[in-house]
Structure 1
């Protein structure tokens, strides 16, 4: 898979998280669906990274 599609999917997932924080879940859902179409692994990758960051923060 071309790296640009993967990067775009990651960007869309990050934007979706910002929409969730802002309370706009419908927009977040649309962004996640777009990300999945580009690269189905991207949303999961972002969530794993967030979990790792949270785990590292707790252990410090």
Structure 2
């Protein structure tokens, strides 16, 4: 099975979920906000990498 066309899209749901959960973790009076902020940063980097892969796959 060839997943070449699907591979750039696999990480998007995970990156979006990490971004949303990291933002939720940053709000409110909780401990470990630095960890939630780190999760937001890593999820944003993952989302940016996914979009770079999509743009790269769209070019001939």
TM-score with structure 1 length normalisation?
A: 0.50
Higher CA-based Rg: 2
Q: Tell me what 1:26 maps to.
A: 34
Instruction: State the alpha-carbon separation in 1 of the partners of residues 44 and 24 from structure 2.
Output: 17
Compare relative contact order (CA 8 Å, sep 6+) and give the higher one, 1 or 2: 2
State whether residues 22 and 40 of structure 2, in contact with CA within 8 Å, keep that contact through their aligned partners in structure 1: yes
Q: Hey, which bits of structure 1, 4+ residues long, moved more than 6 A?
A: none
Instruction: State the alpha-carbon separation in 2 of the partners of residues 4 and 34 from structure 1.
Output: 16
Structure 2, unmatched stretches of 5+, are 1-6, 50-60
Say what the alpha-carbon RMSD is for the aligned residues. 2.3
C-alpha deviation, 1:26, in angstroms = 0.6
What count of residue pairs does the alignment treat as equivalent?
A: 41
